């Protein structure tokens, strides 16, 4: 994701606070084209490992795409939507494993 210039990448460990997923990966993308590049590169890399998403939620123009890999859920936000939904605050009790700015 960093190679495709995703911004403010955060990896949260949810295992102690939720049964929803083990990890959330959250990042920002400033344009729809960048969002598509991030999602496409991520999907290609993970597909090489034999893993396919269970579900994809959101539309390119919505400002938030979610890709559910079961134990890992990836969120790619436009900055405005990320500030509005504040997932890091909502999951503040989850351990932050990685933060790349």
Question: What is the predicted pLDDT for the residue at 3?
Answer: 86
Question: What is the predicted pLDDT for the residue at 80?
Answer: 96
Q: What is the mean pLDDT of the chain?
A: 94
User: pLDDT-based confidence at 54, cuts 50/70/90?
Assistant: very high
Q: What is the rounded average pLDDT of the residues 23-52?
A: 95
pTM over 0.85, yes/no: yes
Return the CATH class of domain 2-100: alpha beta
The full set of domain ranges for the chain reads 2-100
What pLDDT, in 10s, does the model give residues 13-30? 999 999 999 999 999 999
Question: What is the predicted pLDDT for the residue at 101?
Answer: 84
Q: What is the rounded average pLDDT of the residues 43-48?
A: 94
H, E, C per residue of the chain: CHHHCCEEEEEEECCCCCCCCCEEEEEECCCHHHHHHHHHHHHHHHHHCCCCCCEEECCHHHCEEEEECCCEEEEEECHHHHHHHCHHHHCCCCEEEEEEC
User: pLDDT-based confidence at 69, cuts 50/70/90?
Assistant: very high
């Amino acid at each position: 994701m960093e190679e495709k210039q995703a911004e403010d990448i955060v990896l949260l460990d949810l295992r102690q606070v939720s049964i929803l997923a083990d990890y959330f990966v959250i990042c920002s993308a400033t344009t729809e084209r960048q969002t598509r590049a991030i999602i496409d590169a991520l999907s290609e890399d993970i597909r090489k490992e034999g893993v396919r998403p269970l579900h994809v939620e959101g539309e390119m123009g919505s400002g938030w795409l979610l890709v559910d890999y079961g134990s890992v859920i990836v969120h790619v936000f436009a900055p405005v939507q990320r500030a509005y939904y504040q997932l890091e605050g909502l999951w503040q009790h989850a351990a932050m494993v990685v933060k790349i700015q």
